[in-house]
């Protein structure tokens, strides 16, 4: 009996996995921050957007009665998110879902676009462009060190069922950011490009899902942490003069004397001695996540970290 594959076996960093599994998802992310930690930007394009509540409703209906309900696929729910946080200022957040069939994604290189938003590999780096009339917009170009492609290859790891790949390690970018009702501003800062995907629905919900950057001098730590009530999984990559180095170790979370899951966020996060996060300050909230700024210590060196935290993640 023949079967239909629910994703392809693409090995090219950044190329689409063409996932059609119900409850699956795929996303391309740009994370950006200025050198002094005054602002943070996250832009992402999604297939199977978590910002589309209809996706979860249809998935629940399909699970309850698969013979009477059509299975929902990621391609039916494309979406985009752009969040710009300035410390001490209200966040600018733009979230949009798009009609089915409007998302385009290459299978032989990183090139995705939908609704006027693009993340694309260029000859010498990446181009990230998110535009929305009368709203926040960015148009950025990343430089691409010669080592980036080699570093990105074979750097995919599995974190609680989500595959996570760093396509462009931390590097310099230049371009423009336009806030609502303000002229475009030229910027030069640092950031990275990553890709996440999931080929099956979550078996159980997560209490927290954290994604973050910690920056100290010429080095940056990129990390992802999935926490359930009875388990956790994490990944840490340190990017510096010697290249991108993965450290696959669990994190230790504490909440300063309060039972861990009685709080809305972990007060302390330790990836062994490599990275320690302390003293979180809420910077902004969006429709599905909160963004915190932590004091950080990267191999003992004083740093700062921006952390995107999603709570009660069910798919």
The arithmetic mean of pLDDT across residues 128-151, rounded, is 65
Looking at residue 6, its pLDDT comes to: 56
Looking at residue 134, its pLDDT comes to: 54
- Give the percent of the chain with pLDDT over 90: 19
For 270-303, give the DSSP string. EETTTEEEEEEEEEEE-SS-EEEEEEEEETTEEE
CB atoms within 10 A of CB 272: 12
Instruction: Pick 49 or 149 by higher pLDDT.
Output: 49
- Give the percent of the chain with pLDDT over 70: 84
pLDDT level of residue 87 (50, 70, 90 thresholds): confident
Bridging pattern class, strands 243-247 and 268-271: unpaired
Looking at residue 315, its pLDDT comes to: 65
pTM: 0.87
Does the structure show a pLDDT above 60 at 259? no
Number of H helices, E strands in the chain: 2, 21
Q: Which helix (H) or strand (E) holds 70?
A: none
Q: Which two tokens stand for residue 75?
A: 């391609």
Instruction: Pick 259 or 305 by higher pLDDT.
Output: 305
What is the residue-averaged pLDDT of the chain? 80
Bridging pattern class, strands 156-159 and 185-198: unpaired
Looking at residue 72, its pLDDT comes to: 93
Assigned fold of 25-313: AttH-like fold (2.40.370)
Nearest of 14, 8, 5 to residue 167 by alpha carbon: 14
Residue-wise pLDDT for 140-188, tens only, equals: 887 654 444 444 444 677 787 888 888 877 777 788 877 656 677 787 7
Distance CA 18, CA 27 (A): 11
Looking at residue 313, its pLDDT comes to: 80
Looking at residue 245, its pLDDT comes to: 75
Q: How far is CA 51 from CA 47, 62, 98, in A?
A: 11, 19, 11
Instruction: Please state the φ and ψ torsions of residue 131, each to the nearest 5 degrees.
Output: -130, 140
The arithmetic mean of pLDDT across residues 256-284, rounded, is 75
Instruction: Pick 19 or 263 by higher pLDDT.
Output: 19
Query: Which segment of 117-126, 152-161, 190-199, 237-246 scores lowest on mean pLDDT?
Result: 152-161
User: Residues 299-302: contacts with CB within 8 Å, 24+ apart?
Assistant: 299/216, 299/219, 299/238, 299/273, 299/274, 299/275, 300/273, 301/216, 301/217, 301/219, 302/216
Looking at residue 248, its pLDDT comes to: 61
The arithmetic mean of pLDDT across residues 71-90, rounded, is 86
Query: Where do the DSSP E strands lie in 16-116?
Result: 25-33, 39-47, 78-86, 92-97, 104-105, 111-114
Query: Which segment of 123-127, 246-250, 265-269 scores lowest on mean pLDDT?
Result: 246-250
Does the structure show a pLDDT above 90 at 119? yes
Per-residue DSSP letter, 58: H
Contact status, residue 152 vs residue 245, Cβ threshold 8 Å: no
| Full strand arrangement of the beta sheet holding 232-240 | 243-247, 232-240, 219-227, 206-216, 301-313, 290-298, 275-285, 268-271, 252-254
Residue spans of the domains in the chain: they are 25-313
Looking at residue 148, its pLDDT comes to: 46
């Amino acid at each position: 009996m023949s079967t239909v594959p629910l994703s392809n076996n693409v090995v090219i960093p950044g190329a689409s996995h063409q996932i059609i599994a119900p409850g699956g998802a795929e996303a391309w992310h740009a994370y950006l921050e200025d050198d002094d930690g005054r602002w943070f930007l996250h832009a992402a394009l999604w297939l199977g957007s978590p910002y589309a509540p209809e996706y979860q409703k249809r998935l629940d209906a399909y699970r309850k009665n698969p013979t009477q309900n059509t299975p929902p696929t990621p391609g039916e729910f494309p979406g985009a998110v752009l969040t710009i946080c300035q410390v001490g200022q209200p966040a600018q957040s733009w979230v949009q879902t798009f009609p089915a069939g409007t998302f385009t994604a290459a299978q032989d290189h990183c090139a995705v676009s939908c609704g006027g938003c693009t993340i694309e590999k260029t000859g010498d780096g990446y181009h990230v462009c998110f535009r929305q009339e009368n709203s926040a917009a960015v148009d950025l170009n990343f430089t691409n060190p010669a080592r980036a492609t080699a570093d990105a290859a074979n750097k995919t790891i599995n974190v609680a069922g989500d595959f996570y790949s760093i396509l462009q390690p931390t590097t310099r970018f230049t371009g423009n950011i336009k806030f609502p009702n303000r002229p475009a501003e030229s910027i030069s800062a640092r950031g990275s490009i990553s890709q996440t995907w999931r080929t099956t629905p979550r078996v159980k919900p997560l209490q927290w899902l954290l994604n973050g950057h910690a920056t100290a001098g010429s080095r940056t730590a990129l990390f992802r942490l999935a926490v359930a009530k009875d388990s956790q999984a994490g990944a840490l990559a340190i990017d510096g003069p010697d290249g991108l180095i993965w450290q696959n170790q669990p994190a230790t979370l504490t909440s300063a004397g309060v039972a861990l899951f009685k709080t809305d966020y972990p007060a302390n996060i330790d990836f062994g001695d490599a990275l320690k996060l302390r003293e979180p300050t809420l910077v902004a909230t969006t429709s599905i996540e909160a963004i915190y700024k932590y004091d950080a210590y990267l191999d003992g060196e004083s740093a700062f970290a921006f952390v995107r935290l999603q709570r009660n993640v069910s798919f």
